[in-house]
Amino acid sequence: MHNKIIEWLEHRTGIQTAIKNFLYEDIPASSGWHQVIGSMAVFFFIIQVFTGGLLAFNYAPTPGEAYNSVKYIMTELTGGSLIRGLHHWGASMMLIIVVLHMLQVFLYGSYKKPREATWMMGVVLLLITLAFGLTGYLLPWDNRAYWGTVVTTQIAAQAPLAGPYLTRLLGGEGSVGNVTFSRFYALHTVLLPPFTMILIGIHIYLVRKHGVTPAVNDTAPRRKFFPEQVFKDTVGVSIAFLILFMMAVFARVPLGRLADPTDTNFIPRPEWYFLFLFQTLKFFKGPLEAIGSVVLPGVAVLTLFLIPFIDRAPLVRLGKRTFAFTFAALALIAWTGLTTAAIVTTPKTTEADETAPGAESLQAWQQLTPEELQGLAYFQKEKCKACHPGAGKRGIGPDLTQMIPAHRDAAWMIPHFKNPAQVVPGSSMPPVQLDDAGLNALSAFVLKLTPQNEQGLLSAPDFAVQGALIYQSKHCDACHQIAGAGKKIGPPLDGVGQHRDRAWLEKHFVDPKSTSPGSMMPPYKFTPQEMDAICRYLLQLPKAGG
């Protein structure tokens, strides 16, 4: 039966022949451990695709939700911190391995005829690896990611002629927002991965077509790729993965506070592999900035592409490639010096890791009562932001963060919501169509607004707003307290996530007596969406006084 299945597959697909041709390809006798780097690069790309897919299962690809979903992955999802660590550090290790692979090819002169196209394809793959790092940098949507991307879009704008078009393409006209986020996310997850797979396939095909470059005067009999070289590749990949795993476990990936476009005091810094370019820009001021940001990198990339056509001399043994070693050494010294200078001159930041154990800093929305979060829902539904754009911005209506908390109270606001023109003669504001409870909630939220917390309150995740609406609609405050609001018949819910998990909460809602014998709480039949929202909201509640 086994043979028949193999024969059927071979006849229909040719897979058995393809595997044999792949494993038993002839390779030079000089091949060895230095050949494992290419296999490691492919392996790390697979790791990135796999861990990226796992993250995508719990990631919300919108600016308002992205930050909270990453925080959820890091603090609540089983193995979430490990998965993000593998993806984050895997990106850095993949870049290191790709650069080492290209350095090896350069030093050995393996780009020479007939392998020019193989080298050029490798340069494209290096640029794509950098593009992965650049587009993925924004996705956590913390302050570091936001301001780093602001700098990136500003650098792109300096490109001669193409600057305005690149800025428009990146959605960075004026500021980094929804458009920039959507395009970076699409590039990182939709366009670059399949494009990279295609290019890796072409690159491997070209390597197989022309064969592994043999050492000069290698006259020893050729040998098969399997089993000796496969064993060496497996050992190399295993060691690299062990290093990655240890980094993911012990080198925690931090998550700063939520992106704040008003925080102009934040000093942006790119990822470590772009620090050399960041430092280079300091040597070019004013009109010369485009030279450091665009011209020099462009010349460097063009030179990489043209190396096979610049160096057309015959292949010589490794010990005689003095110029190649000198050039590589100087490039390494320059990169190390610039990167070190950038690190040394980086001001120390006091921003805390929001996902670190024991982190006590709260998001602004976490300090709202359920009624105030309900008011936020009405504030968004009524599109109040259209006329009241916020602190420091001019709009049709006044700045609510300045005028309302200082000069008005709920007794003034509720009649104003019901009949604006009667309270403020000449007002063009339409009446707010809410019942008294809704108007109370809306006024409670508006009274919380300040110039300092406005951005944080308006960026409250959708699950928190929806969870608070459900909490209010079911009158849970008749028995429980959150942030000091509500009755004390039942236990307070502040910090409930520190001693209960989601499974317990879901079971408690469906059948309260099964988890709390003697409970007076009635069962609730939530839809899956409602259950998800209220559980996520309750699990995010901070401990009282936290």
The amino acid that residue 508 corresponds to is H
Q: Rounded distance, CA 328 to CA 305, Å? A: 16
Q: Would residue 434 count as lying in a domain?
A: yes
Q: Which two tokens stand for residue 406?
A: 């200082």
Q: How confident is the model at residue 262 (pLDDT cuts 50, 70, 90)?
A: low
Q: Would residue 352 count as lying in a domain?
A: no
Q: How confident is the model at residue 545 (pLDDT cuts 50, 70, 90)?
A: low
Percent of the chain clearing pLDDT 90 (strictly above) = 39
Q: Judge if 478 and 438 occupy the same domain.
A: yes
Q: How confident is the model at residue 348 (pLDDT cuts 50, 70, 90)?
A: low
Q: Residue 101: phi, psi to the nearest 5?
A: -65, -45
Q: How confident is the model at residue 26 (pLDDT cuts 50, 70, 90)?
A: confident
Q: Judge if 300 and 383 occupy the same domain.
A: no
Q: Judge if 251 and 146 occupy the same domain.
A: yes
pLDDT in tens, 481-509: 998 899 988 889 988 877 777 888 899 99
Do 211 and 126 form a contact (C-beta atoms < 8 A)? no
Q: Would residue 165 count as lying in a domain?
A: yes
Give me the pLDDT at residue 360, please: 45
Q: What's this model's pTM, rounded to 2 decimal places?
A: 0.69
Q: Which two tokens stand for residue 445?
A: 């939220």
Do 90 and 44 form a contact (C-beta atoms < 8 A)? yes
Work out the number of other CB atoms within 10 angstroms of the CB of residue 258. 26
Cβ contacts of residue 106 below 8 Å, gap of 6+? 307, 324, 328
Q: Which of 344, 375, 401 corresponds to the end of one domain?
A: 344
Looking at residue 77, which CATH number applies to its domain?
Answer: 1.20.810.10
| H or E segment and range at residue 243 | helix 230-250
Q: Judge if 389 and 428 occupy the same domain.
A: yes
pLDDT in tens, 101-153: 999 999 999 999 899 999 999 999 999 999 999 999 999 988 889 888 888 88
Q: Residue 482: phi, psi to the nearest 5?
A: -135, 125
Query: What residues form DSSP beta bridges with 26?
Result: 224
| H or E segment and range at residue 223 | strand 223-224
Average pLDDT (421-439) is 87
| H or E segment and range at residue 27 | strand 26-27
Q: Judge if 100 and 246 occupy the same domain.
A: yes
Q: Would residue 8 count as lying in a domain?
A: no
Give me the number of domains the chain comprises.
2
Measure CA 188 to chain center: 9
Q: Which of 314, 344, 374 corresponds to the end of one domain?
A: 344
Q: Judge if 325 and 460 occupy the same domain.
A: no
Work out the number of other CB atoms within 10 angstroms of the CB of residue 34. 14
Q: Judge if 431 and 509 occupy the same domain.
A: yes
Q: Judge if 253 and 163 occupy the same domain.
A: yes
Looking at residue 433, which CATH number applies to its domain?
Answer: 1.10.760
Do 449 and 404 form a contact (C-beta atoms < 8 A)? yes
Measure CA 457 to chain center: 22
Residue in 284, 293, 301 with CA at minimum distance from that of residue 162: 293
- DSSP tag of 258: B
Q: Judge if 311 and 370 occupy the same domain.
A: no
SS3 476: helix
Q: Judge if 150 and 283 occupy the same domain.
A: yes
Q: Rounded distance, CA 173 to CA 153, Å? A: 9
Do 71 and 255 form a contact (C-beta atoms < 8 A)? yes
Q: What is the 3-state secondary structure (H, E, C) of 303-371?
A: HHHHHHHHCCCCCCCHHHCHHHHHHHHHHHHHHHHHHHHHHHCCCCCCCCCCCCCCCCCCCHHHHCCHH
Sign, Cα dihedral of 257, 261, 267, 273: positive
Q: Which of 344, 377, 404 corresponds to the end of one domain?
A: 344
Residue 267 pLDDT exceeds 80: no
Of 21-25, 107-111, 131-135, 216-220, minimum mean pLDDT range: 216-220
Give me the pLDDT at residue 198, please: 96
Q: Judge if 197 and 168 occupy the same domain.
A: yes
Q: Judge if 412 and 273 occupy the same domain.
A: no
Q: Would residue 22 count as lying in a domain?
A: no
Q: Rounded distance, CA 413 to CA 491, Å? A: 33
Q: Would residue 10 count as lying in a domain?
A: no
Q: Would residue 138 count as lying in a domain?
A: yes
Residue 71, CA distances (Å) to 210, 356, 455 in order: 48, 10, 18
Q: Would residue 259 count as lying in a domain?
A: yes
SS3 225: helix
pLDDT in tens, 134-146: 999 999 988 889 8
Could you identify the residue written with the tokens 């009446």?
431
Residue in 296, 463, 300 with CA at minimum distance from that of residue 373: 463
More confident residue, 530 or 288: 530
Do 287 and 152 form a contact (C-beta atoms < 8 A)? no
Q: Which domain holds residue 146?
A: 35-212+232-344
Cβ contacts of residue 460 below 8 Å, gap of 6+? 64, 363, 364, 365, 368, 373, 376
Angular region, 347: left φ>0, alpha ψ -120 to 50, beta rest: beta
Angular region, 518: left φ>0, alpha ψ -120 to 50, beta rest: left
